[in-house]
Structure 1
Amino acid sequence: MPELINPDPRVHRSFLVAVAEFKAEGRGQADDRTMLGEEIHRFGRLWPDPVAFARYVARQRAMAFEKTPPREGFAPVTNMWLVDGDEFLGRIAIRHSLTPILLEAGGHIGYDIRPSARRKGYATQMLRAALPVSFGLGIDPALITCDVDNIASRRVIERNGGVLEDQRKEKLRFWVPTTP
């Protein structure tokens, strides 16, 4: 049964397979400005080493602490992974506040499901499980954005109560209640 967990080195093998799937669809190129794309580009060559991967996992966890400097233009973030046993299915990032960049395009929550796990309801389940975590961080409602042409992501957001506010450039902006 899939569950949302804190990043954990035990999924190392399946994480690497998932990254290979993401790379096969073009993620991680130098021009990929998504959080996942930038991480693949920056850390991907290190991940095969178990020690380096464990350091990456520790960094993912530490990003939730206010004392850890966030990425330029971003906020502290709670990273969580959707797993089924030791199988990595996807990841979700809950940003603790909105900076000007996040208000326009990134929102409070961003997520990725590995290509082989898509169209199985995992993204909807993962977002649903993350909403109470967001509430616990004082976020209510949560801003979630998606590309205008990403129908699957739009459906995930709407299935979790998202209400469309507007479109800004190529992004749709939804507000999703996080109250239990």
Structure 2
Amino acid sequence: MPELISPTARLAPSFSEAVDEFIAEGRGSEDDHSLTGQMIRDYVIPARGGEWVGEWVERYLADEARWQTEPPENFVTMTMLWWVDGDEYLGRISLRHYLNEHLLQIGGHIGYDIRPTARRRGHATAMLAAALPRIAAYGVEKALITCDADNVGSRKAIERNGGVLEDQRGDKLRFWVPTV
């Protein structure tokens, strides 16, 4: 049964396969402003052709762990969790402990990705449901969650978890979701 866990190098092979799936669908380009796109540009592309998968994954995980207490400039503290089923990486969810102006406009408290081969099986809905009590522990009573206006699957996952559409800003839909 899938569950949320702290990221672990133990799942490096499965995580790397998922990253390859994201790259195959076009993620990681300069116009991909998602956390997954940034991770591909910062860790995967430089490692290609030399590093063993576990090396770049361990560096990535060490840097991500610092986000809980020492985020990069212009970012907020964040907890990342992985959605896994045994040894299979299915997706990730990022819980931002508070909002800055950018996140209030288009990023929100929660961001997530499901690997392409695991989509359309209810994982986003279940992962989000499992994460809501965790973000409530940071004092967030209503979480802002955004998605691209054309991302029907993400919109359904948010709405299934009680999300109420507030508005659309640019190409982003903004929902407020109760956490308790």
User: Unmatched 5+ residue regions in structure 2?
Assistant: none
Report what 1:148 is aligned to: 149
Q: State whether residues 95 and 110 of structure 2, in contact with CA within 8 Å, keep that contact through their aligned partners in structure 1.
A: yes
Conservation of the 8 A alpha-carbon contact between 2:166 and 2:176: yes
Could you tell me how far apart the structure 1 residues matched to 2:163 and 2:74 are? 25
Does 1:12 pair with 2:12?
Answer: yes
Task: State the shift of 1:156 in Å.
Answer: 0.3
**TM norm structure 2:** 0.93
Q: Where in structure 1 are there 5+ consecutive unaligned residues?
A: none
1:54 aligns with 58
1:46-69 Cα deviation digits (max 9, x unpaired): 37442332232122222112xx1x
Deviation at 1:137?
A: 1.0
**Runs of 4 or more above 4 Å deviation:** none
Equivalent residues in 2 for 1:28-43, closer than 5 Å? 28-43=28-43
Change (3 A) 1:118 1:110: same
In structure 1, the residue corresponding to 2:104 is in which secondary structure? helix
> 8 Å contact 1:74–1:102 — kept in the other structure?
no
Aligned counterparts, 1:122-137, within 5 A: 122-137=123-138
Distance 1:51 1:82 in 2: 21
1:87-126 matches, cutoff 5 A: 87-126=88-127
Number of equivalences: 176
TM-score for the superposition, normalised by structure 1: 0.93
